[in-house]
């Protein structure tokens, strides 16, 4: 495994995990084309641990960037459990934003996990098919275009909105469907303020990314560690580019311009569709 290749994968992961262009889709596309480009260590020789650690690096970026909200959610979770024990959770949710955020994350995580597990086999199939991957990219582009007419609103984040966004996040396990893109779009369509839609999208990603990493990190993954220096370079690249992408995306959504990524996503999808016919 070459250090340059893993650093490139890390940079792709960091940028595409947060920008609405699908990290899993780009990594799948890279794995499809890399052997044709002559990259040593690409394709099937890439250890599973690398993919897990690249996602972990982006998870750290989310926690660092949204550290204030993340701490509020952690404190809210503890206070919410205490309120539940007293039989006053409903009143606590109404009066405490931290508890409301923690409950929303918990509610949204349930359908994400269930749908993600149900789609495990189809996800693997999409990653290996240029045709299916291309169609997922095109579908994602259509959702991004629709955000031109979804400006967001003043709706308060509640469990119903969290449930819908969690369902959407579960579907986004399919490569080519951007998790950040479709969950932010769902928040805007539901009438959440733009800032709230972005913040909740990324906080909701924390348990999803962590859970996926834990499920994949087994003995076989640890046995294929490969070049540790190369893996470290990939993780560093993923974290740094992830932080940059978070800053950029937040500004873009604030300006109501999430749709500007649609042409690029559609172009990637079209290229994959063409490649599937070659």
| Alpha carbon distance 267, 22 (integer Å) | 13
**pLDDT tens digits for 175-222?**
999 999 999 999 999 999 999 999 999 999 999 888 877 776 654 455
**pLDDT tens digits for 135-162?**
999 999 999 999 999 999 999 999 999 9
Q: Across all residues in the chain, what is the average pLDDT? A: 87
**pLDDT tens digits for 128-140?**
899 999 999 999 9
pLDDT of residue 52: 77
Domain boundaries, the chain: 3-122+129-277
**pLDDT tens digits for 3-14?**
787 888 888 888
Q: What's the pTM?
A: 0.89
Q: Which of 29-38, 77-86, 123-132, 228-237 has the lowest mean pLDDT?
A: 29-38
Q: Is 154 exposed, middle or buried (0-12, 13-18, 19+ CB in 10 A)?
A: exposed
For residue 155, give the DSSP letter. Answer: P
Split at pLDDT 50, 70, 90, the class of 38 is low
């Amino acid at each position: 495994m070459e250090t340059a290749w893993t650093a490139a994968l890390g940079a792709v992961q960091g940028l595409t995990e947060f920008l609405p262009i699908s990290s899993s889709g780009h990594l799948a596309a890279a794995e499809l084309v890399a052997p044709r480009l002559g990259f040593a260590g690409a394709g099937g020789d890439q250890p599973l641990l690398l993919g897990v650690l690249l996602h972990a690096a982006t998870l750290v970026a989310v926690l660092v960037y949204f550290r204030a909200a993340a701490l509020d959610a952690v404190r809210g979770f503890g206070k919410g459990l205490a309120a539940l024990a007293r039989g006053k959770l409903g009143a606590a949710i109404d009066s405490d934003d931290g508890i409301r955020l923690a409950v929303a994350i918990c509610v949204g995580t349930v359908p994400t996990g269930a749908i993600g597990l149900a789609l495990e086999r189809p996800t693997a199939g999409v990653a290996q098919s240029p045709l299916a991957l291309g169609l997922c990219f095109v579908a994602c582009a259509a959702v991004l275009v629709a955000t031109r007419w979804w400006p967001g609103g003043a709706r308060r984040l509640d469990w119903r909105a969290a449930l819908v966004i969690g369902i959407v996040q579960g579907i986004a396990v399919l490569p080519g469907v951007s998790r950040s893109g479709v969950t932010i779009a769902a928040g805007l369509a539901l009438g959440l303020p733009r800032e709230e839609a972005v913040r909740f999208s990324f906080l909701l990603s924390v348990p999803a990314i962590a859970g996926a990493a834990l499920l994949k990190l087994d003995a076989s993954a640890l046995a294929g560690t490969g070049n540790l220096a190369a893996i470290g370079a990939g993780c560093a690249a993923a974290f740094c580019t992830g932080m940059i992408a978070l800053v950029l995306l937040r500004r873009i959504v604030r300006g109501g311009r999430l749709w500007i990524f649609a042409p690029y996503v559609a172009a990637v999808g079209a290229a994959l569709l063409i490649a599937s016919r070659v």
